[in-house]
Amino acid sequence: MIDDLPNILKSIIKMDSIKNDYKTYLATPKGKEDLAIAVQYKRAWKKGMDRGGILSVGTEFVKMKNIHPEVASLAELVTIEPIALNNLCHGNSEWFKSYGYDSLLGYNLTACPCGKMTCMEIHTLNTKRRKLYDFTRDFNDEKEKWFVPLPVEFGMRTFIQLWGRNRDYIKVDTGCQCFEITSEAEGIKKMTWEELIVFINELKKIRVIEF
C-alpha cells in the first residue's frame, strides 16, 4: 500500500504524478497557448545571446556582502525543479495551487560578474509548510535562484494595479564596472538599497480587500 511507503518515496511518486498532469495540461488549448509564449520568449533570449546583444547577469555572481543586510536576511537560495514552462512563473504558481501549494510573490536576485550591480526581477514561486518551491524552468537555464519574498498577501495582478510595470525589474548599482544600463525606459527601475527598503516597508502597510 502506498501509505506504507517512506515519505521520500511518496513525495517522488506524487511529483511524478504532477509532472504527468502538467504534460496533459500542455495538450489543452490553454496549455498550447502557454507553450507558444514560452517558446517565443526562449527563442528571443537565445537570439539576443547569440548576437551578443544581451549582457548577462546570473545567480552565481550574487555576493551577499554587496547586498543591504535587511534584504540579504530575507534571501533564500532555492533549487529550481523545472517542471513548468519558462517565463510564466505567475501563472505556473497558480496552477500548482491545486496540489496544495501556496503562491508567493517576491524578487529573484542576480548580479553582474563583479557583483556590484544587483538585479531584482519580480517572480512568483510556491510554498508549502514554509518551504519554497520554484517549479518554473529558467529561461537562462539557471539551476537555482536567490529569492526575496515580499511582505504581501496578493499576487502579480494586484501588484501591477498598484505599481504598474515600473517595479518589475529593479537595479541597485553600487559601483559596477562590468557594463552600464542607464535608461529606465528599458524596463529597469534604478534604486538605492535605502529606496528599496522603503518600498518593501510600504508594501507591508497594504491590505487588499477582495469583493
Q: How many CB atoms lie within 10 A of CB 171?
A: 19
Give me the residues paired with residue 125 across strands.
Answer: 104
Q: Which residue has the cell 532555492?
A: 78
96 by Cβ neighbours in 10 Å (0-12 / 13-18 / 19+) ranks as buried
For the chain, the domains span 54-204
The amino acid occupying position 85 is L
Global pTM reads: 0.87
User: Which of the residue ranges 56-65, 70-79, 163-172 has the most confident prediction, judged by mean pLDDT?
Assistant: 70-79
Average pLDDT over the chain, rounded to whole?
Answer: 87
pLDDT tens digits along 134-187: 999 998 889 999 999 999 999 999 999 988 888 999 999 998 888 655 445 456
